[in-house]
Amino acid sequence: MALEALIRVRQEASFHKRSGDVICIKLKEHADWGKEEVKFHQAVPWFDEKLESKMRREWLETGIFPVAVTPYKIDEKFYLKYRKKTYEKSILKTRSYKYFDINELTEEIRQNIISDNVVEDLNHIDLDKIKTCIKTKTEEEISLEFEKNKKMALGEI
């Protein structure tokens, strides 16, 4: 068994969303996506044994099909000083420390994935190839993303 993730495919970076970010994950056997979801995002096979185990336990305990929404998101608090007062602010450190690297796929599949209104079925792709697309950001990448997110949140960009 496995999981299925819905990932963001838009190329342009925005404040909180980047191409390849994991939006949500479902158990593969319960992964039915709405028409609007797959219109602008891409469903991909996903492998994360720890998350899958947690989701299967939740399903057995509750009888409800679990959905992990932004499971790889990290928020970080920092303190902002303004007029002799200190304010606590929460900023998105990274929306998805694990992500799907679309650039690992062939040009044809990549173009289909990033096109709106095209639903690309990735089930025909070798699972080992899919696994090579699932990556984890380095601490440096997360740190750079966090610094950019802070600047954007503070209106410096």
pLDDT of residue 105: 84
Q: Sketch the domain layout of the chain as residue ranges.
A: 3-73+96-136
Beta bridge partners of 137: none
pLDDT of residue 22: 95
pLDDT of residue 11: 64
Cα 113 to Cα 44: distance, rounded to the nearest angstrom? 10
pLDDT of residue 78: 74
Pairing of strands 67-69, 22-27: antiparallel
Cα 33 to Cα 8: distance, rounded to the nearest angstrom? 14
pLDDT of residue 49: 94
pLDDT of residue 92: 87
The answer to whether 23 and 44 are in contact (CB under 8 A) is no
Q: Consecutive 10-residue runs of the chain (157 residues): their mean pLDDT?
A: 86 68 93 79 92 96 94 86 79 91 83 70 80 93 88 76
Beta bridge partners of 7: 22, 42
Q: What is the pTM of this model?
A: 0.81
Q: 96: which DSSP letter?
A: -
